[in-house]
Amino acid sequence: MRVLIVFAHPEPRSFNGALKDLAAETLIAAGHEVKVSDLYAAKFGAVVGVDDFLCERADPDFFSVAREQTHALKNGAMADEIIAEQNKVIWAELVIFQFPMWWFGMPAILKGWVDRVFARGFAYSAGRKYDTGMMRGRLAMVSATTGTSAETYAPNGIDGDINDILWPIHNGIFRYTGFDVLPPHVAYMPGKISTEERRAYLNCYRRRLIDIDGTPRLFFHPLGDYGDDERLKPGIVVRSGFQRNV
Amino acid sequence: MRVLIVFAHPEPRSFNGALKDLAAETLIAAGHEVKVSDLYAAKFGAVVGVDDFLCERADPDFFSVAREQTHALKNGAMADEIIAEQNKVIWAELVIFQFPMWWFGMPAILKGWVDRVFARGFAYSAGRKYDTGMMRGRLAMVSATTGTSAETYAPNGIDGDINDILWPIHNGIFRYTGFDVLPPHVAYMPGKISTEERRAYLNCYRRRLIDIDGTPRLFFHPLGDYGDDERLKPGIVVRSGFQRNV
């Protein structure tokens, strides 16, 4: 399997760095191919802007990100930095986001990678989302660390259920563009636990990576469960864990 | 009231720009003071990194964002761009985030503003989070636009409940740092509706802004509802809409 690890931590010797290195070593040892996009090391630009587009704009007077992305992709005018990342995504059968949870989400440098690389016309377009998204047939996975305990991220924890907090990534980025999604690997507050506990997290992650085929994918309702209004049809019982029957 | 609008859209003439302008005009006409942080116009840096810290690092050999933020704030060594934004936040009694929902969240430039400005030691610190967060006594609010319909963001919609999708901002950023939180104003797919419908959104938003005092705040469980494990105590019935009793 070809695996792209998108790594978003400023310190290579962090636990995020260790998880990234472990994943690369484990996957290569198991016969997979691995590429790493180390966003901090590459000083990857985080902000979608006019500089993403090399040539004449579709509309020089009004800047619409989606319109300019579509236009630039059609005309071979997308910035090289973006094309290089898109080529890695196309190459990959599995994409892993390795990041520390900052403010209940991805570091800005990774959010910006998504904003820029998952361009309209590349990752989605009219009528191409969710089951028909352009990343269909590929796998994606979150590997994250947190600053607080697993208890705070319990369903009745003060931060809220970690799976619900990851929904904007799992459903909103991965599934939206057609990926099948592996359950997340979350290492809780690696900065505050013992060396043994950190080692245990690495061992668990290694086991997860070795058994990708045997790992059940997250469930998302198929398009057929939705009516024309994009709401679940009457009688469909919610099984995503996030949505609610009304 | 002193209001800070943090504006994150690359096109001033976008509907996000119109909402920002309307808010500023409405609030000023009502006797409030307004400052705007226009992140794209300011080319605000989105990425937390070593350049945020002007002087000697707490640990030059291992880059921990939280540690360096705390150290730099104590020693007056935080980058000027960050200090200027922090001063606006301290000045403000209400902070409004005005942004388009990109990938179920904030544009990276706004996420980066949070990553950098809400530094440890400024917005939170040991023992200072949620009810005791350092922004206690202040108000915050999301004003967002979307690319898809309100139906897709219904509780049984394909994208999931908009209020749940905003939890990482409402609870994870605003409430975490002590803000009281106003209900969000969401304008659904302003790019695909009629001029009249856009005007209706502007009118609704104006009414919301004029009646801030009369607008009920979002409910978050007080710290007293949580046990030492930071989970809701037995017998406390979830009222946040996001968490779940287990």
Per residue in A77-97, pLDDT (tens digit) is 999 999 999 999 999 999 999
Best residue in B158, B169, B171 to probe A by mutation, most A CBs within 10 Å? B158
Mapped onto helix, strand or coil, the DSSP state of residue A132 is helix
Smallest Cβ–Cβ distance between A168 and the set B105, B112, B147 belongs to: B105
Interval B35-43 mean pLDDT: 98
Fold entry, domain B2-220: Rossmann fold (3.40.50)
A-chain residues near B64 (CB < 8 A)? 11, 14, 191
Mean pLDDT of chain A: 97
Spatial separation of the C-alpha atoms in residues A172 and B102, rounded to whole Å: 9
- Taking Cα atoms as reference points, which of B42, B163, B37, B8 lies closest to residue A112? B8
Spatial separation of the C-alpha atoms in residues A55 and B243, rounded to whole Å: 48
User: Quick check: A154 and B246 CB within 8 A?
Assistant: yes
B-chain residues near A243 (CB < 8 A)? 155-157, 160-161
CA distances for B33 relative to B1, B4, B26, B184, angstroms: 6, 9, 10, 21
The pLDDT tens digits for B54-109 are 989 999 999 999 999 999 999 999 999 999 999 999 999 999 999 999 999 999 99
The pLDDT tens digits for A173-203 are 999 999 999 999 999 999 999 999 999 999 9
- Chain B contact for A38, CB < 8 A? no
Spatial separation of the C-alpha atoms in residues A17 and B140, rounded to whole Å: 35
Interval A73-79 mean pLDDT: 96
* Sign of the torsion angle spanned by Cα atoms A178, A184, A189, A193: negative
Residue B232 DSSP label: B
pLDDT for A217 equals 98
User: Quick check: B46 and A242 CB within 8 A?
Assistant: no
Mean pLDDT of chain B: 97
**Which residues partner with B232 through β-bridges?**
B226
Smallest Cβ–Cβ distance between B49 and the set A10, A112, A114 belongs to: A10
DSSP string over A160-206: --HHHHTHHHIIIIIGGGT-EEPPPEEE--GGGS-HHHHHHHHHHHH
Cα dihedral value B169, B137, B66, B224, nearest 10:
-80
CB B27 within 8 A of CB B3: yes
Smallest CA–CA distance, residue A180 to chain B, in Å, is 16
CB B152 within 8 A of CB A232: no
- Chain B contact for A46, CB < 8 A? yes
Place of tokens 């996975």: A141
Spatial separation of the C-alpha atoms in residues A6 and B167, rounded to whole Å: 25
* Sign of the torsion angle spanned by Cα atoms B78, B81, B85, B91: positive
Best residue in B16, B48, B63, B103 to probe A by mutation, most A CBs within 10 Å? B103
Angle formed by the axes of helices B108-117 and A108-117, to 10°?
170
User: Quick check: B112 and A112 CB within 8 A?
Assistant: yes
A-chain residues near B158 (CB < 8 A)? 130, 221, 226, 230-231
Spatial separation of the C-alpha atoms in residues B246 and B243, rounded to whole Å: 9
Q: Within 13 A of A40's CA, how many CA atoms are on the CB side?
A: 21
DSSP string over A58-121: S-TTS--HHHHHHHHHHTT-B-HHHHHHHHHHHH-SEEEEEEE-BTTB--HHHHHHHHHHS-BT
Buried b (16+ CB within 10 A) or exposed e, B31-45: ebebebbbbbeeebb
Domain residue ranges of chain A, discontinuous segments joined by +: 2-220
Smallest Cβ–Cβ distance between A10 and the set B63, B106, B171 belongs to: B63
Interval A96-114 mean pLDDT: 98
pLDDT at A223 over 90: yes
pLDDT at A242 over 90: yes
CB A161 within 8 A of CB B168: no
> Which positions 126-185 of B are in contact with A (Cβ < 8 Å)?
130, 147-149, 151-152, 154-161, 164-165, 167-169, 171-173, 176
pLDDT for B125 equals 95
- Chain A contact for B62, CB < 8 A? yes
pLDDT for B43 equals 97
Spatial separation of the C-alpha atoms in residues A21 and A35, rounded to whole Å: 11
Biggest CA pair distance of chain B? 58
User: Quick check: A158 and B230 CB within 8 A?
Assistant: yes
The pLDDT tens digits for A138-155 are 999 999 999 999 999 999
* Closest chain B CA to residue A63: B11
pLDDT for A55 equals 87
CB A174 within 8 A of CB A136: no
Smallest Cβ–Cβ distance between B158 and the set A50, A173, A226 belongs to: A226
CB B97 within 8 A of CB B169: yes
Q: What are phi and psi of A99, to 5 degrees?
A: -155, 155
A-chain residues near B242 (CB < 8 A)? 160, 164
Smallest Cβ–Cβ distance between B108 and the set A46, A169, A246 belongs to: A46
ipTM over 0.90: yes
| Percent of chain B surpassing pLDDT 90 | 99
